[in-house]
Amino acid sequence: MKTLNQVLAYAVILATAISCGPKKETSKVLVLYYSQTGNTKIVAEEIANRLGADIEAIEAVVPYDGSYQETIERGRQEMEAGTLPECKPVAADIAAYDVIFLGYPIWFGTYAPPIATWLGSVDLSGKTVVPFCTFGSGGLDSSVKDLKAKQPGATVLPGYGVRAARMDAVPQELDLYLKANGFVEGEVVKLEAFPELRPATEEEAAIFLAAVKDYPMMGNVQAAKVASRQIPGGTEYLFTAVPQPREGAPLPGPMPPMGEMKVYVTAIDGEAPVFTQVVR
């Protein structure tokens, strides 16, 4: 379990973090989610338990229950064909809810296809939608952007996202997120804004590499610039990183350029640095 200090550091990616806010006692809340591996379900149940909210899962008629590679291939075929999976009807009366927490895993940089199916069947105008997602490296920002475009009449909050490798941090991070956005009572630490980016030092580049070394997709990425700020118990870094030429034989076939990316890294005193999100 992460320390409370490390959880407070997560506020770096909560654009709406505020000192405190009134609990939304008069709002009727639904937690609606799609989960394949169970990670998003864990987050959904934590939210529902904290808020005493109704909860329901979105289910595909033909489940995505194959291997990882089979799931990726099915998703790729659906994208190329411009089709979406058929989903079972949602039992909840959406019109009866003021706030909808909408959860999903990130696939291909955005919300999973069953969420796209459901979004195409409803009008969420006038409602507050709170996205939450699980991912390998990132995708919260891009999925929120897509959600806003799909439901322009809804008020869509920036949302909460967590890497699948950091699921043990969910309870405390959600506590911070729900307090920061006024869904439960309590105070949170408001962090200072990041200063201007500057070239990363050798020491900072080493911290970046230590944070991403166990993630295969980041194996050839190096830090370029960085901004840092002090947080309770340690330091928070915002890196810009770029891919480097791979050693050995080139990969077969054309590879799309990764381009520059933003990587958020938390370094708590006495603990190994970890990256919390990648924004491409």
d(CA 242, CA 234): 25
- Tell me the DSSP string of the chain: ---HHHHHHGGGG-TT--S-----TT--EEEEE--SSSHHHHHHHHHHHHHT-EEEE--BSS---S-HHHHHHHHHHHHHHT----BPPP-S-GGG-SEEEEEEEEETTEE-HHHHHHHTT---TT-EEEEEEEESS--HHHHHHHHHHH-TTSEE---EEEEGGGGGGHHHHHHHHHHHTTSS----PPPPPP---EEPPHHHHHHHHHHHTT-GGGTTEEEEEEEEEEETTEEEEEEEEEE-PPSSSPPSS-------EEEEEEEETTS--EEEEEE-
Q: Assess if residue 191 is contained within a domain.
A: no
Q: 180, 210, 237 — which closes off a domain?
A: 180
Please report how the helices 39-51 and 170-180 are oriented relative to each other, as an axis angle in degrees rounded to 10: 50
Q: Assess if residue 116 is contained within a domain.
A: yes
* Residues 50 and 148 placed together within one structural domain of the fold: yes
* Residues 12 and 104 placed together within one structural domain of the fold: yes
Given this model, what pLDDT does residue 187 score?
85
Given this model, what pLDDT does residue 191 score?
84
The model carries a pTM of 0.84
> Which of 144, 134, 145, 94 lies closest to 118, judged by CA?
94
Given this model, what pLDDT does residue 214 score?
86
> Which of 225, 186, 127 lies closest to 8, judged by CA?
186
Q: Assess if residue 274 is contained within a domain.
A: yes
The domain that contains 44 carries what CATH number? Answer: 3.40.50.360
* Residues 27 and 55 placed together within one structural domain of the fold: yes
The one-letter amino acid code at 146 reads D
pLDDT digits (tens, 9 = 90+) for 5-31: 344 444 433 433 333 443 444 579 999
Question: Residues of the chain whose pLDDT is less than 50?
Answer: 1-25, 248-257
Cβ proximity of 131 and 156 under 8 Å:
yes
* Residues 110 and 55 placed together within one structural domain of the fold: yes
* Residues 82 and 174 placed together within one structural domain of the fold: yes
Given this model, what pLDDT does residue 133 score?
98
Given this model, what pLDDT does residue 217 score?
75
Instruction: Print the domain residue range for 26.
Output: 4-180
d(CA 141, CA 144): 5
* Residues 231 and 271 placed together within one structural domain of the fold: yes
Q: Assess if residue 187 is contained within a domain.
A: no
* Residues 87 and 30 placed together within one structural domain of the fold: yes
Domain count for the chain: 2
Q: 180, 207, 239 — which closes off a domain?
A: 180
Given this model, what pLDDT does residue 219 score?
67
pLDDT digits (tens, 9 = 90+) for 144-167: 999 999 999 999 999 999 999 999
Q: Assess if residue 161 is contained within a domain.
A: yes
Given this model, what pLDDT does residue 245 score?
61
> Which of 11, 49, 14 lies closest to 29, judged by CA?
49
* Residues 161 and 64 placed together within one structural domain of the fold: yes
Given this model, what pLDDT does residue 149 score?
97
Q: 154, 180, 206 — which closes off a domain?
A: 180
What percent of the chain clears pLDDT 90, i.e. is strictly above it? 70
Given this model, what pLDDT does residue 258 score?
52
* Residues 154 and 236 placed together within one structural domain of the fold: no
